[in-house]
Chain A
Amino acid sequence: MNNETGIAIKKKQQRNKLIETGTIIALVIIFAVILPAVIPAFRLRLIGRFLSLAIVALGIDLIWGYTGLLSLGHGIFFALGGYALAMHLNLQLPEGQLPEFFTLYGVEELPWVWQPFYSFPLTILALIIIPGIVAGLIGYLVFRNRIKGVYFSILTQAALLVFFNFFNGQQEIINGTNGLKTDTERIFGVLVSSPGVQRAFYIVTVISLILIYLLCRWLTSGRFGRLLKAIRDDETRVRFSGYDPTGYKVLVFAISGAIAGIAGALYTVQTGIITPSIMQVAFSIEMVIWVAVGGRGTLIGAIIGTMLVRLAQTFLSESFPEIWLFFQGALFLIVVTVLPDGIVGWWTSYGWHKSRSLLGLQPKLATYPSLVEDPELQQERETIAKK
Chain B
Amino acid sequence: MSTLIEGLFNGISIGSVLLIAALGLAIVFGLMGVINLAHGELMMLGAYATFVVQNVFKPLGEPWFSFYIIAAIPVAFIVSAIFGLILERGAIRFLYGRPLETLLATWGVSLILQQFVRSVNWLLIICLGIFCLLFFGGMQLLKSRADWESMRTKIVSLLLPLAAGVAIAFYFLLSQNSALTNAWFSARNVDVTAPAWLRGGVEVLGFQMPYARLFIIALTILCLMGVYWFLQRSAWGLRIRSVTQNRTMSSCLGIPTAKVDALTFALGSGLAGIAGCAVSLLGSVGPNTGQNYIIDTFMVVVVGGVGNLLGAVIAALGIGILNYLIGSGTLALFLTTISAPQSMIDFFLFFATSSMAKVMVFALIIIFLQIKPAGLFPQKGRTAEL
| A residues whose Cβ falls under 8 Å from a Cβ of B | 68, 70, 141-142, 144-147, 149-151, 153-155, 157-159, 161-162, 165-166, 168-169, 236, 240, 281-282, 285, 288-289, 292, 322, 325-326, 328-333, 335-337, 340
Number of cross-chain contacts by CB at 8 Å: 117
**B residues 74-126 in Cβ contact with A at 8 Å:** 91, 94-95, 99-105, 107-112, 114-116, 118-119
Q: Are B99 and A157 in contact (CB under 8 A)?
A: no
Segment at the A interface, from B188-196, B275-283, B334-342, B356-364: B356-364
Bound-complex Cα distance A363 to B262 (A): 46
Residues of B within 8 Å of A146, CB to CB, are: 373, 385-386
Whether a CB of chain A sits under 8 angstroms from the CB of B237 is no
| B residues whose Cβ falls under 8 Å from a Cβ of A | 33, 35, 91, 94-95, 99-105, 107-112, 114-116, 118-119, 291, 295, 298-299, 302, 353, 355-356, 358-359, 362-363, 365-366, 369-370, 373, 384-386
Residues of B within 8 Å of A144, CB to CB, are: 370
Q: B347: shortest Cβ distance to chain A, in Å?
A: 15
Q: Are A330 and B299 in contact (CB under 8 A)?
A: no
Given the known interface contacts A147-B373, A169-B353, A236-B385, the answer about A322 and B359 at a Cβ–Cβ threshold of 8 Å is no
B359 interface neighbour in A149, A166, A281, A329, Cβ under 8 Å:
A166
Q: Are B358 and A162 in contact (CB under 8 A)?
A: yes
B384 interface neighbour in A68, A236, A326, A340, Cβ under 8 Å:
A236
Bound-complex Cα distance A340 to B295 (A): 26
Q: B171: shortest Cβ distance to chain A, in Å?
A: 12
Q: Are A328 and B108 in contact (CB under 8 A)?
A: yes
Identify whether the interface residues of B are mostly helix, strand, loop, or mixed. helix
Bound-complex Cα distance A328 to B110 (A): 10
Q: Are A281 and B295 in contact (CB under 8 A)?
A: yes
Q: Are B112 and A157 in contact (CB under 8 A)?
A: no
Sorted nearest first, the 4 A-B pairs with minimum C-beta distance are: A332-B108, A145-B373, A329-B112, A329-B111
Residues of A within 8 Å of B362, CB to CB, are: 158-159, 161-162
Residues of B within 8 Å of A330, CB to CB, are: 108, 112
Q: B202: shortest Cβ distance to chain A, in Å?
A: 33
Residues of A within 8 Å of B373, CB to CB, are: 145-147
Q: Are A329 and B115 in contact (CB under 8 A)?
A: yes
Residues of B within 8 Å of A240, CB to CB, are: 384
Residues of A within 8 Å of B101, CB to CB, are: 336, 340
Q: Are B111 and A154 in contact (CB under 8 A)?
A: no
Residues of B within 8 Å of A328, CB to CB, are: 108, 111
Bound-complex Cα distance A141 to B369 (A): 9
Given the known interface contacts A146-B373, A155-B302, A158-B299, the answer about A168 and B111 at a Cβ–Cβ threshold of 8 Å is no
Bound-complex Cα distance A240 to B291 (A): 40
Residues of A within 8 Å of B35, CB to CB, are: 150, 153-154
13 contacting pairs across A/B (C-beta < 8 A): A141-B366, A144-B370, A146-B373, A150-B33, A153-B35, A153-B100, A153-B103, A154-B35, A165-B359, A240-B384, A329-B108, A329-B111, A333-B105
Q: Are B104 and A336 in contact (CB under 8 A)?
A: yes
Bound-complex Cα distance A153 to B373 (A): 15
Q: Are B358 and A333 in contact (CB under 8 A)?
A: no
B115 interface neighbour in A68, A326, A340, Cβ under 8 Å:
A326
Interface centre among B95, B103, B291, B299 (most CB of A within 10 A): B103
Given the known interface contacts A325-B115, A332-B105, the answer about A145 and B295 at a Cβ–Cβ threshold of 8 Å is no
Bound-complex Cα distance A322 to B111 (A): 12
Q: Are A337 and B385 in contact (CB under 8 A)?
A: no
Residues of A within 8 Å of B109, CB to CB, are: 329, 332-333
Residues of A within 8 Å of B291, CB to CB, are: 281
Q: Are A322 and B119 in contact (CB under 8 A)?
A: yes
Q: Are A169 and B114 in contact (CB under 8 A)?
A: no
Residues of A within 8 Å of B365, CB to CB, are: 158
Bound-complex Cα distance A290 to B373 (A): 31
Residues of B within 8 Å of A281, CB to CB, are: 291, 295
Chain A residue nearest to B373 (CB atoms) is A145
Q: A350: shortest Cβ distance to chain B, in Å?
A: 14
Given the known interface contacts A70-B100, A289-B104, the answer about A337 and B95 at a Cβ–Cβ threshold of 8 Å is yes
Q: B263: shortest Cβ distance to chain A, in Å?
A: 22
Bound-complex Cα distance A146 to B373 (A): 8
Q: Are A70 and B103 in contact (CB under 8 A)?
A: yes
Other A-B pairs, 6, CB within 8 Å; known A162-B359, A336-B95, A336-B102: A155-B302, A322-B118, A325-B114, A326-B115, A329-B109, A329-B112
Q: Are A150 and B359 in contact (CB under 8 A)?
A: no
Residues of A within 8 Å of B299, CB to CB, are: 154, 158
Q: A131: shortest Cβ distance to chain B, in Å?
A: 18
Residues of B within 8 Å of A333, CB to CB, are: 91, 105, 108-109
Bound-complex Cα distance A330 to B370 (A): 38
